[in-house]
């Protein structure tokens, strides 16, 4: 995918609907050169000690949101990032990070208002808590998908002590749940493949493609989720670029899943290499009109459902 991303950057042609990806997490490092120029607006729902003040979205509580954003832009370097920082606290007994359902609801509502095409949520909330706030969160997730066509990706819970049905947003039918896979394209040991929609790389992943030898890799279904969100955003972009008539067919959860199905193996692992291959490097950006557009149109035709045929033909 790195080679294809390089190829895409060289295409200067603009699309009508620039793809916005909302990263709902712990904020973002606004000075990270990998993503700084991709940040569109940002907002924080993380309350300061004074309830009337908010912690800045560009000064994160950790590096998780920055990592997720970097992975999304690694797959789709033209993404416009909408950054929403969640409210969170640490459990006194375990020190575990806990996200508040109320801030998640507010963040999703904000992302909808900003026209997010894709929402990436690489976290889970145990639904066995505040019933009212959880119900409000479920309600806004349903609204995002049914009323606005927002494509939402969420991570499978890597915490073995929480059942999948108790995890929000993963238990919401409106979302696409992603689990981590090994370099051998099999589910990681902590992932229940029956509880996910797709598997993406999520074990020993280097966040920076230009990482120096010895750089520590990262693992988890959150990593896989960011990669899936990036791929969805990329598909939305290249469909407009090469076959705009197909764009309405992929501009939905069902359309993206149909494209993923064409790349997925029986075990749900999404294979991209056979589609986003090195052949695209043969066409330098100045050859876009001569050969590149045709090749990209063929790729889109192979993945996106023909609107004249439909999803249920």
Number of independent structural domains in the chain: 1
Instruction: Say what the pLDDT of residue 157 is.
Output: 85
Residue 111 lies in a domain: yes
Among residues 25, 26, 32, 87, the one annotated as catalytic is 25
Domain limits for position 57: 2-303
CATH number reported for the structural domain that contains residue 50 in this entry? 3.40.50.200
Peptide bond into 86 cis (omega under 30): no
Residue 309 lies in a domain: no
Residue 227 lies in a domain: yes
103 included as an active-site residue: no
Instruction: Say what the pLDDT of residue 161 is.
Output: 47
301 included as an active-site residue: no
Instruction: Say what the pLDDT of residue 286 is.
Output: 45
Please give the chain's pLDDT, 313 residues, in tens: 888 888 888 888 899 999 999 999 999 998 888 898 999 889 999 877 666 667 888 887 788 999 999 999 999 999 999 999 999 887 777 667 789 999 999 999 999 999 999 999 999 998 876 689 999 999 999 999 999 999 999 999 876 545 667 789 999 999 999 999 999 999 999 899 999 999 999 998 888 777 766 778 889 999 999 999 999 999 999 999 999 999 999 999 999 999 999 999 999 999 998 888 756 655 554 466 657 788 888 899 999 988 777 654 4
Residue 311 lies in a domain: no
Residue 129 lies in a domain: yes
Residue 160 lies in a domain: yes
Instruction: Say what the pLDDT of residue 23 is.
Output: 98
Instruction: Say what the pLDDT of residue 213 is.
Output: 67
Instruction: Say what the pLDDT of residue 305 is.
Output: 85
Tell me which long-range contacts 172-176 makes (C-beta under 8 A, separation of at least 24). 172/138, 172/141, 172/142, 174/141, 174/142, 174/144, 174/145, 174/146, 174/253, 175/121, 175/141, 175/145, 176/151, 176/152, 176/228, 176/253, 176/256, 176/257
Among residues 26, 32, 64, 171, the one annotated as catalytic is 64
Residue 159 lies in a domain: yes
Q: pTM for the full model? A: 0.92
Residue 232 lies in a domain: yes
197 included as an active-site residue: no
Among residues 120, 122, 127, 222, the one annotated as catalytic is 222
């Amino acid at each position: 995918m790195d080679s294809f991303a390089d190829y895409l950057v060289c295409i200067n042609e603009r699309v009508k609907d620039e793809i916005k990806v909302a990263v709902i997490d712990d904020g973002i490092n606004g000075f990270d050169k990998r993503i700084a120029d991709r940040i569109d607006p940002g907002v924080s729902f993380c309350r300061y000690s004074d309830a009337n003040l908010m912690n800045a979205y560009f000064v994160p509580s950790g590096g998780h949101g920055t990592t997720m954003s970097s992975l999304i832009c690694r797959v789709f370097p033209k993404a416009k990032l909408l950054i929403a920082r969640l409210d969170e606290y640490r459990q006194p007994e375990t020190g575990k990070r806990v996200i508040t359902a109320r801030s998640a609801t507010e963040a999703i509502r904000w992302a909808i208002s900003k026209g997010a095409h894709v929402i990436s949520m690489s976290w889970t909330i145990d639904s066995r808590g505040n019933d009212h706030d959880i119900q409000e969160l479920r309600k806004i997730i349903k609204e995002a998908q049914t009323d606005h066509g927002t494509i939402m990706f969420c991570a499978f819970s890597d915490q073995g002590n929480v059942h999948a049905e108790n995890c929000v947003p993963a238990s919401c039918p409106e979302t696409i749940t992603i689990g981590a896979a090994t370099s051998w394209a099999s589910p990681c040991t902590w992932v229940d493949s029956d509880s996910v929609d797709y598997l993406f790389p999520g074990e020993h992943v280097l966040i920076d493609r230009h990482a120096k030898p010895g750089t520590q890799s990262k693992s988890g279904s959150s990593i896989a989720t960011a990669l899936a969100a990036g791929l969805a955003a990329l598909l939305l972009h290249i469909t407009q670029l090469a076959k705009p008539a197909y764009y309405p067919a992929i501009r939905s959860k069902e359309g993206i899943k149909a494209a993923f199905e064409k790349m997925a193996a029986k075990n749900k692992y999404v294979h991209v290499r056979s589609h986003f291959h090195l052949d695209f490097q043969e066409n330098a950006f100045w050859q876009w009109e001569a050969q590149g557009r045709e090749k990209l149109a063929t790729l889109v035709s192979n993945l996106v459902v023909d609107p004249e045929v439909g999803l249920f033909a």
